[in-house]
Structure 1
Amino acid sequence: MRSQLLGLTAAVLLLPFTGAAVNAEGELKISGDNTVVTIQTEDGAVDITRTKTDAALIGGVLQPMVPVPGVTPVGELEVIDALKTGSAKVVDMRTLEWRTQATIPGSMHIPYTEVAMRLDEFGCSGGQGSWDCSKAENVIAFCNGPACPQSPVAIKAMAREGYPVDKIFYYRGGMQDWMVMGLTTAEDMF
């Protein structure tokens, strides 16, 4: 079943986020343990902070655009092209609870905790610790958005297992950006 962003319930957009990304004062972390980054401008010092917004799916800690050197970041148009042409497998690497609420239509589901054991679904042969990925396919990995660590963790596991990083593409915007853009989602996907 498909719905647009407006059809999603407020509960999806306001789901609680993990406490790990919030300090004792309830401020969202930017990176590491930093909740404030001070920059100098012509008018003096300015503190950059993060606040929870209605559009943010999770609090999380901001993830880099390139989680592993050699991985290519992509946006919505590249994801749509891959879905249309089959040039890459678009993989929802979130937990099942998140996927069933809303996902990108046509994506496959492999939770981030299982990716290193399931590289055969991307053209590798062998098994964990001894994969042969000489016939690896292009993969576009996504999770909840710029502050979600699930697909970056999976991408690191793929690289550790020998998956060629030039075949890994990272849609950092994930579900948060997909829904903010008003793109079609699928619900109740298992």
Structure 2
Amino acid sequence: MKTIHSRIFVALAFVSGLAYANDYDLRGDGVQINYDDNSYIIKRITDEECKKINGADPKNIWSGNYAKEGLSEKCVKKFVTTVGKITPMKINDKIETIGELEVIDFIEKAQTNKNMLLIDARLPDWFLQMSIPTAENIPFTYFDKSKYPDDFYDVLEMIGVKEISKDKYDFSKAKELVLFCNGAWCPQSTFAINNLIKLGYPQEKIKWYRGGMYSWKMLNLTTTSE
């Protein structure tokens, strides 16, 4: 696994300040519905104790087991269920949302096609703990030219884009991309994708693995770490 950074930024203030109009917290009032003569509120159930979890610490997210007590730890996993905001299933009608089998197929094809790139859009601490084999770590913050201009140009080189002039780009050699982050509650990959859209990147060359590391680990697929 590779990473384009030579220094680690843990930009927690920046991360916590991001706003996503299409993401849903559902940890507060939730959505009220009427069904079978009863009223229900669909929301993420969050005990006060859960609010104390530091979701910015990867060790809090990726550890432990979750199943009947006493079962072999080799067979079960445990996930924190109360962090982040729920993302929609689709970013838009042009960008395809894919699952694990499609990611594996992409990885297999990318072995002989250098114009295909799997991107782990999480911050370095998360990537170093575990990731999907062959993924390149391009932290979502680096897709923001206004905040990280030097790293932004490194990103352009990795994804096959050249800047012709200020804010004008050549996408003739743009690579086919799959981006992911922690899971359905993680907005980092969508942030990166939305910045690619603003850039003018061909959307037919972008795929989104919404399930991310949570779905990957839920199915006990191979991971790699440094």
Q: Please, which of 120, 141, 147 is the counterpart of residue 157 of structure 2?
A: 120
- Count residues with an aligned counterpart: 165
Range that drifts further, 90-99 or 116-125: 116-125
Shift of 1:129: 2.3
Determine if contact 2:117/2:177 at 8 Å carries over to the other structure.
yes
Matched, 1:77 2:105: no
Q: Which amino acid aligns with 2:205?
A: K
Q: Which has the higher contact order (CA 8 A, sep 6+)?
A: 1
- Compared with structure 1, are the counterparts of its residues 161 and 83 closer, same or farther at alpha carbon in structure 2 (3 Å cutoff)? same
Q: Which residue of 2 aligns with 1:94?
A: 122
Is 2:177 the counterpart of 1:139? yes
Give the superposition deviation at 1:100: 0.8
Determine whether 1:36 maps to 2:16. Answer: no
RMSD over aligned Cα, in angstroms? 2.8
Q: CA deviation at 1:122?
A: 1.5
Which amino acid in the other structure matches residue 94 of structure 1? Answer: R
Question: For residues 169 and 44 of structure 2, what CA distance do their matches in structure 1 show?
Answer: 40
2:71 pairs with 1:47: no
1:47 aligns to what SS in structure 2?
strand
2:94–2:203 Cα contact (<8 Å) kept: yes
Cα gap change, 1:160 to 1:180, in 2 (>3 Å): same
Larger Rg: 2
* Alignment partners' CA distance in 2, 1:57 and 1:95: 20
Q: 1:91 to 1:50 in 2, by over 3 A?
A: same
- Deviation of 1:103 after TM superposition, in Å, equals 0.3
Return the offset for 1:39: 1.5
**Deviations for 1:142-188, whole angstroms, at most 9, x for unmatched residues?**
00000101000000000101101111100000001100110011112
Letter in 2 for 1:147: W
User: Partners of 1:186 and 1:51 in 2: how far apart?
Assistant: 32
Kept after mapping to 2: 8 A contact 1:35/1:50: no
The percent identity for this pair of structures is 34
Shift of the 177–58 alpha-carbon distance from structure 1 to 2, 3 Å rule, reads farther
Paired with 1:141 and 1:47, the residues of 2 have a C-alpha distance of 33
The one-letter amino acid paired with 1:135 is K
Uncovered stretches (5+) of structure 1, i.e. residues with no partner: 2-17, 21-28
CA contact (8 A) 1:37 1:48 kept: yes
Q: TM-score, normalised by structure 1?
A: 0.76
TM-score, length-scaled by structure 2: 0.65
